[in-house]
Structure 1
C-alpha cells in the first residue's frame, strides 16, 4: 500500500474521534455513523499497518471486551450509549496492550473534564457562562450529562503512539 494511503487510513482514527468529541460537546450525542466508520476503516488501517490475522483477532477480542464493559457502564448509567460504542470502536483500533494506555488516558481526561464541568456548573461561574453560546450554557447545566466522548477522544489520541498504527505515521 502506498505510504500516503496508509497514513490517510490511519489518520481516520484521530479525525473521527475528534468529530465525535465535537458532536458530544455541542449536542451531548455521538452519531452512530462515527463508531461504524471506525469499525469499517479498521481493516484498511490494519492492512496498512501490516497486522497479521492473529493480531487482528486480538484486536477483535479487545473490542468485544470493551463493548461488554461499555454496555455494563451504560446499564449502570455511568456513560451514554454513544460513549459505549465509541469506546469499543476505539479499543478495536488500539488492541492489546495499547488499550491499557487508552483506558488510563481516557480516565484521566474524564477526571479533568469532570472537574472543568463542576467548575462551570458552580454557583459562582454558571451565571457568567449562561451569557455565552447555547452549547456552552448546556455544558454548564447541572442537569446535563458529561460529554464523555471528549475523554474517549483524548484517550485515543494519547494512546495512538502506543498502538500498532504508530509506525505508519512515524510516531
Structure 2
C-alpha cells in the first residue's frame, strides 16, 4: 500500500495541477495540501526517520522562502509557489531537489517560449479552429504548473521516496 501511494500520489497531483493550470490558470490549494499531508503520512511508512523527514520539510521551507519572495515581487503566482513548495518536500535536501528545480527551470523556459509563440499566432490559431484553451492565448501569465509537473515527472524516479519504494520492492520479493 505504501509503495502504491509513493508511486501514485505525487505524479497524480502534479498532473492534476498541470491540467488545472492549463485550462483555468489556477492551481487549487487542495492539491498542494494533499501533497504535504500525503508526504507526512507516507514518509514514516517508507522507513524515513524523524531526521530525514525534517530534512525534507527543510527543503520545502527553503523553496517556500524563495517562492514567497518571487510571489511578493509579482514574478510567480501563488498557486505555483504553493505547488513548488509542496512538491519540494517529496525531494528533500539532496541532489534530487536540485535536479527537480533544474528540470522545472528548463521546462519552464521551454513552456514560456511555446506560450509566447502561440500568443504571437493567436489570430491564425483562432481562424484555423485549432483547439487551444482560450486563457492560454489571452492571459498575461504563464501556466507554470505545467513546468512544475514536468520537472517533477523527470526528477521523481531518482527521489529518496522512489528509492525507498524500490528498496522495499526488492527486499520483499528477494
Alignment of 1:32-43 (within 5 A): 32-43=29-40
Separation (CA, whole Å) in 2 of partners of 1:132 and 1:139: 13
CA contact (8 A) 2:59 2:92 kept: yes
Separation (CA, whole Å) in 2 of partners of 1:53 and 1:168: 15
Unaligned runs of 5+ in 1: none
Residue 70 of structure 2 aligns with which residue? Answer: 73
Q: Structure 1 length as normaliser, TM-score?
A: 0.89
Name the SS for the 2:74 alignment partner: coil
Alignment of 1:18-167 (within 5 A): 18-97=15-94, 98-122=96-120, 125-130=121-126, 131-133=129-131, 136-141=133-138, 143-167=139-163
1:68-110 per-residue CA deviation (whole Å, 9 max, x = no partner) reads 1111111111110000000100011110211101100000000
Report how far residue 169 of structure 1 moved.
4.7
Separation (CA, whole Å) in 2 of partners of 1:49 and 1:163: 13
CA contact (8 A) 1:34 1:86 kept: yes
Q: Runs of 4 or more off by more than 3 Å in structure 1? A: 168-171
Separation (CA, whole Å) in 1 of partners of 2:30 and 2:125: 31
Separation (CA, whole Å) in 1 of partners of 2:118 and 2:80: 22
Name the SS for the 1:140 alignment partner: helix
Separation (CA, whole Å) in 2 of partners of 1:146 and 1:33: 21
Q: Structure 2 length as normaliser, TM-score?
A: 0.87
CA contact (8 A) 1:66 1:88 kept: yes
Name the SS for the 2:110 alignment partner: helix
